Amino acid sequence: MADPIPKILVVEDEPAQREVLAYNLEAEGFVIEKAATGDEALTLIAEAAPDLIVLDWMLPGVSGIEICRRLKARDETRDIPIIMLSARSEDVDRVRGLETGADDYVVKPFSVAELVARVRTQLRRTRPASIGGQLEFEDIVLNSDSHRVYRDEKPLKLGPTEFRLLTTFMEKPGRVWSREQLLDRVWGRDIYVDTRTVDVHVGRLRKALCRHGGRDPLRTVRGAGYSLG
């Protein structure tokens, strides 16, 4: 079963700082990955993209700025929110001036509460269901706190896999997801599942969504995958 919990990559070369960040974000319920260098970070990101990156500016080897630039230049990683950490506010001005594409900036020393708030702000934008709350698409309403789904105000019965599939679709309406991407997101990377399993569960989700009538909101994109709307 997949992890619906957002995964945050903490990139910081200073061990004490890295541990404090990891510890506190973990305490907030996030899944944490840690990297001490830019190269290590790039390797981890290539293996499995995190949902957000907390990125220190000053790193040995590949700098935070360079990592940020590279990630924002590639389609596959462009949408991962990046919060840059820097030692001085002048650095932040410079980072902004460099147009690295970072989504937010925090100046050291910062309070953990402040950083957590900024992490949540970014995830509210990119993974809204993962931090609680409601997603809406046309007449479909998904509440991730109560795990309930309604269509045209009527409750729908969804299995756990169909619920995660719908959450994924509703977080990014219009995006075309390949079967492999859905497997990664909904079932998890470490589990071997045949891609046809995706078709089976999308079929179940379709049936559940249309139980009380209404048009099928899921689109099959030939040779590409599925999208909502």
Could you tell me the two tokens for 16?
């004490």
Could you tell me the two tokens for 44?
């981890």
Name which of 25 and 54 has its Cβ closer to Ca ion: 54
Least CB distance from residue 17 to Ca ion, whole Å?
Answer: 7
C-alpha torsion sign, points 157, 203, 6, 135 = negative
Least CB distance from residue 29 to Ca ion, whole Å?
Answer: 26
| Distance between CA atoms of residues 8 and 81, nearest Å | 10
Name which of 13 and 28 has its Cβ closer to Ca ion: 13
Contacts of 18 (CB under 8 A, 6+ apart): 10, 12, 34, 36
Alpha helix positions (H), 10-87: 15-27, 38-47, 64-73
Name which of 88 and 125 has its Cβ closer to Ca ion: 88
Contact 139, 151 (CB under 8 A): yes
Name which of 21 and 209 has its Cβ closer to Ca ion: 21
- Provide the mask over 27-66, with x wherever binding to Ca ion is found by CB under 5 A and - wherever it is not: -----------------------------x-x--------
| Distance between CA atoms of residues 138 and 200, nearest Å | 24
13 near Ca ion, rule: CB under 5 A: yes
91 near Ca ion, rule: CB under 5 A: no
20 near Ca ion, rule: CB under 5 A: no
Name which of 31 and 58 has its Cβ closer to Ca ion: 58
Could you tell me the two tokens for 195?
């891609």
Least CB distance from residue 8 to Ca ion, whole Å?
Answer: 17
Q: Which residue is nearest to Ca ion (CB)?
A: 58
Q: Which residues are at the interface with Ca ion (CB under 5 A)?
A: 13, 56, 58
